[in-house]
Amino acid sequence: MTYTAYFGRTRRRLLEDLDRFLAAKRKDLAPLRPWGRDVIRRLATFTRKGKMIRGGLVALGCEMASGRVAPSAVRAGTAMELIQSGLLIHDDIMDRDARRRGAPSIHEQYARLAEEPGGPAAAHYGMSLAICAGDIAIFLAFEAMAGLPGPAERAAAAQRLFAAEFGLVGLGQMRDVEAGSSRRTPSERDILDTYRVKTARYSFSLPIALGWILGGGRAAALPVLRGLGEDLGLIFQIKDDELGLFGSPKATGKPVGSDVRQGKKTLYAVRLMERAAGPDRVRIGGIFGRPDAPDADIFFVRDLAERLGVREEVRQIMAGLGRRAAASIRSLDVDERRRAALLSVLAHGLSRRS
């Protein structure tokens, strides 16, 4: 089964469970006017637009361990997607991103509801309501995890792991914000460490481990699965950086070049500053971190990354991570060889997605 086919199948199950879970919460929150019904509707729409890779990985981990996707893994997958929505809502506020998943960001949606749209007061109003909506999504995720069906000891182990991981995500985000506002150029190791804590662990290591635990997998395999997840997550984040510079807004749902305008310290940014010389270095120094940089400047950065070989170098980093992930996959003692083959497809698909 291909990467696309597997995640398409699991996505349907996750959407059904998400709808059931939010329908029950809608009854509880609807009387809390005017925002109870509104926030559930927006969170449902926002979450449904996601690719649901994290929820799919919970299902995959469970299937590798037991040969089937348990109801507890589906519900844990729903929790992963809800908490991802909350984190993205907050992330868009910090990054000042006006669009997400092909639509206005949640804080932009709420800003348009202000009594006097368009000004600083409306922007603050929108951000304030969006912070609350993001918090609600995160609390709903923990509620979903608290009600996991199945063996109590597996549910408790999964709940502990879930709760412990997300404090680290916050620290990773703080590192990312600090790096973006600092004049200091971090090392590539620093960048990868930030990616590991901010994205890789919770997006890949955590869901795979959750599924494995809920499927009754042996604890001895968890370190290998966690390491595999980190490598897959690093590939995912580095590819995300590439798409942010070279992708199309229609495909990514976000403006191209937003990382450049925000001055984010990506592998592309660091290597470009190392490689560029003369007028090129002067020009990109005035582009990175400039919120109003025109598209022509973004195209210049993109062309320079191609011309100096930076894009190919970063792709080689992803290829190295892919080889390490493949070695981890080969070391797994998994009865269903098809599951190991699917992870190989996943490692390949992450670096080639558009």
Q: Could you report the per-residue pLDDT of 41-60, keeping only the tens digit for each?
A: 999 999 999 989 899 999 98
**Structure tokens that stand for 274 in this block:** 């190392």
Model confidence at 90, in pLDDT bands (50, 70, 90)?
very high
What's the chain's average pLDDT? 88
User: Distance between CA 352 and CA 331 in Å, rounded?
Assistant: 24
User: Distance between CA 229 and CA 298 in Å, rounded?
Assistant: 32
Model confidence at 182, in pLDDT bands (50, 70, 90)?
confident
For 66-76, what is the mean pLDDT? 94
At residue 336, does pLDDT exceed 80? no
Select the CATH number that applies to the domain covering 3-352 from these four: 3.20.20.70, 3.40.50.1100, 2.40.160.40, 1.10.600.10: 1.10.600.10
Share of the chain above pLDDT 70, in %: 94
At residue 334, does pLDDT exceed 70? yes
CB-based contact 317:268 (threshold 8 Å): no
pLDDT at position 262: 83
For 46-75, what is the mean pLDDT? 92
Note the helical H segments in the chain: 3-29, 35-48, 53-66, 71-95, 106-111, 120-146, 152-181, 188-195, 206-214, 222-246, 249-252, 258-262, 267-275, 278-287, 295-307, 310-331, 337-352
At residue 342, does pLDDT exceed 70? no
Contact residues for 184 (Cβ-Cβ < 8 A; gap 6+): none
* Domain residue limits, the chain: 3-352
pLDDT at position 345: 66
pLDDT at position 7: 83
Share of the chain above pLDDT 90, in %: 52
pLDDT at position 158: 96
Q: Which stretch of 73-82, 167-176, 228-237, 307-316 has the lowest confidence by average pLDDT?
A: 167-176
pLDDT at position 258: 83
CB-based contact 22:43 (threshold 8 Å): yes
Q: What is the pTM of this model?
A: 0.88
